[in-house]
């Protein structure tokens, strides 16, 4: 099995339960797992040696929320928004029309290009969603294509009621035939519970049906105004509720309540509902930045994700999200890095051990975890906030294979 030693690491940020930072460190990747971590002076030999040259090493980013199966863009909508127009869910229909026109080859090519772009930015674990198909054949096609590229696929048939459809009948379809057809390709289901998208009652039906079909649950909630998304996510034991821009005290309390049997100091117990914040989207839609500081202080586990999509967040830069979280959302660098790595892993329930489908943990660096590692072009991750917008991704390994260096 091929092995790589990365040595001469100024700071190795494990993002483990003790948040250990090892100085003068090295790590060995063997096949697709991390085989050894420790003091560089004591490192074992390996087939290949990579000198980190005094740079910092972190887990690769875990991007737990993207919508990458799409064609076309929405530049005109973005320009109108920058001129003062508000974002509305209806814009999704523009992308649905463009995506339905793209054949399998084209859609796969676009998706591969976006996944490669994300990897070059340090993302080593990627979730993506359907939701630009909105009929049975298209949603099944998008789920199938997504499953050939992304680490995790989420069914988002409940993204928008397509033009001309009756909302209740469309919800029936999402809960029935459409769900059956996408089921082989997806692990998760999501619903956009928002004004202009799905009501709380419709969202409840979707979550119930998808949960009964054995899918893990996620919710797009409280993005454009206060709403039922967070409470529904908690009610259904969703792994994550995403956006969370407009929260009432009761929403924060409900989320905090889901973490009662989780011990963050040893990372055991039952994880609750992660609050996934999407700062690039918040800036692009001119929503208030999600209250990540408040959520962390209340005891809620927080993730940062890119939400890369052509409508609200056309970037897969997790580094940008980390930078924004530090500069504008009140997180420390360590908290932001944790949210963009371990937080995403927790939101995808890939934070620990080998699970039932034999997958290795991601989002933190420990022996046995997936060898998903990035080096920064900097001696410490503080530079992500200190030097905003600079090209700080040095080398990236995904499953032990160099994807950028
Ligand atoms: N908010 C809902 N869905 C996407 C945006 C989709 C679009 O506008 O194309 C989001 O997460 O922001
Ligand atoms: Zn989204």
> Is the CB of 311 within 6 Å of ligand 1?
yes
Q: Where are the alpha helices (DSSP H) in 183-227?
A: 200-212
CA-proximal residue: ligand 1, atom 8 (nearest): 311
pLDDT at residue 404 in the model: 75
What is the rounded end-to-end Cα distance, in angstroms, of the chain?
Answer: 21
Task: List the one residue out of 325, 239, 235, 244 whose CA is nearest residue 280.
Answer: 325
Which of 70, 75, 311 has most ligand 1 atoms within 8 Å of CB, for mutation?
311
At 209 the pLDDT is: 98
For residue 93, what is the enclosing H or E element?
A: helix 92-101
**pLDDT, position 230:** 98
At 358 the pLDDT is: 80
Closest atom of ligand 1 to CA, residue 223: 1
The ligand 1 atom at the shortest distance from the C-alpha of residue 132 is 9
Please report, for the chain, the start and end positions of each structural domain, with discontinuous segments joined by +: 3-59+364-404, 61-347
Q: Using the atom order of ligand 1, give the atom closest to the CA of residue 74.
A: 9
The pTM for the full model equals 0.98
Does ipTM exceed 0.85? yes
pLDDT given for residue 355 in this prediction: 64
How many whole angstroms from 350 Cα to the centroid of ligand 2?
A: 20
Q: Tell me, what's the pLDDT at 39?
A: 98
Strands (E), 131-211: 152-158, 188-193
220 pocket-lining for ligand 1 (C-beta < 6 Å)? yes
The CA-CA-CA angle for residues 209, 200, 156, to 5°, reads 50
Which fold, 3-59+364-404?
A: Urease, subunit C; domain 1 (2.30.40)
Provide the pLDDT for residue 200.
98
Q: Which residues are annotated as a binding site for 4-imidazolone-5-propanoate?
A: 74, 132, 159, 223, 312
Q: pLDDT 10s digit of each residue in the chain, 405 long?
A: 899 999 999 999 999 999 999 999 999 999 999 999 999 999 999 999 999 999 999 999 999 999 999 999 999 999 999 999 999 988 999 999 999 999 999 999 999 999 999 999 999 999 999 999 999 999 999 999 999 999 999 999 999 999 999 999 999 999 999 999 999 999 999 999 999 999 999 999 999 999 999 999 999 999 999 999 999 999 999 999 999 999 999 999 999 999 999 999 999 999 999 999 999 999 999 999 999 999 999 999 999 999 999 999 999 999 999 999 999 999 999 999 999 999 999 999 999 977 667 899 999 999 999 999 999 999 999 999 999 999 999 999 999 999 977
Say yes or no: do domains 3-59+364-404 and 61-347 share a fold. Answer: no
Which CATH topology does 61-347 take? TIM Barrel (3.20.20)
**Which strands sit side by side in the sheet containing 48-59, from one edge to the other?**
33-39, 21-30, 3-13, 48-59, 373-376, 393-398, 401-404
Q: Which of 159, 190, 229, 321 most suits a substitution to test ligand 1, by most atoms within 8 Å of the C-beta?
A: 159
């Amino acid at each position: 099995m091929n092995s790589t030693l990365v040595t001469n690491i100024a700071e190795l940020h494990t993002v483990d339960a003790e948040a250990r930072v090892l100085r003068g460190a090295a790590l060995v990747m063997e096949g697709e797992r991390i085989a050894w971590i420790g003091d560089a002076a004591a490192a074992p030999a390996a087939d290949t040696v990579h000198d980190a040259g005094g740079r910092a090493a972190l887990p690769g980013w875990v991007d737990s929320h993207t919508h990458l199966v799409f064609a076309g863009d929405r530049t005109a909508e973005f320009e109108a928004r920058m001129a003062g127009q508000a974002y509305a869910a209806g814009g999704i229909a523009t992308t649905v029309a463009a995506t339905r026109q793209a054949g399998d080859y084209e859609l796969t090519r676009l998706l591969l290009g976006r996944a490669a772009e994300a990897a070059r930015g340090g993302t080593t674990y990627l979730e993506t969603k359907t939701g630009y198909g909105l009929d049975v054949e298209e949603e099944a096609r998008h789920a199938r294509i997504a499953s050939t590229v992304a680490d995790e696929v989420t069914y988002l048939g409940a993204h928008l009621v397509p033009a001309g459809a009756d909302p209740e009948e469309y919800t029936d379809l999402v809960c029935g035939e459409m769900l059956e057809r996408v089921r082989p390709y997806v692990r998760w289901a999501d619903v956009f519970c928002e004004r202009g998208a799905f009501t709380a009652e419709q969202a409840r039906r979707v979550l119930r049906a998808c949960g009964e079909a054995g899918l893990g649950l996620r919710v797009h909630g409280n993005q454009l105004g206060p709403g039922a998304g967070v409470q529904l996510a908690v009610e259904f034991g969703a792994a994550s509720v995403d956006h969370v821009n407009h929260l009432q005290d009761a929403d924060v309390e409900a989320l905090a309540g889901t973490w009662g049997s989780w011990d963050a100091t040893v990372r055991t117990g039952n994880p609750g509902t992660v609050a996934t914040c999407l700062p690039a989207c918040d800036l692009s839609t001119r929503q208030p930045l999600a209250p990540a500081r408040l959520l962390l202080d209340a005891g809620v586990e927080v993730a940062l994700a890119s939400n890369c999509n052509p409508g609200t967040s056309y970037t897969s830069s997790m580094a940008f999200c980390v930078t924004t979280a530090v500069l504008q959302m009140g997180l420390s660098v360590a908290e932001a890095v944790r949210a963009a790595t371990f937080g995403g892993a927790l939101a995808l329930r890939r934070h620990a051990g080998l699970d039932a489908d034999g997958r290795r943990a991601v989002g933190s660096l420990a022996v046995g975890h997936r060898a998903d590692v990035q080096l920064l072009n900097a001696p410490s991750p503080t530079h992500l906030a200190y030097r905003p917008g600079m090209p700080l991704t040095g080398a990236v390994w995904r499953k032990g294979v160099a994807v950028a260096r």
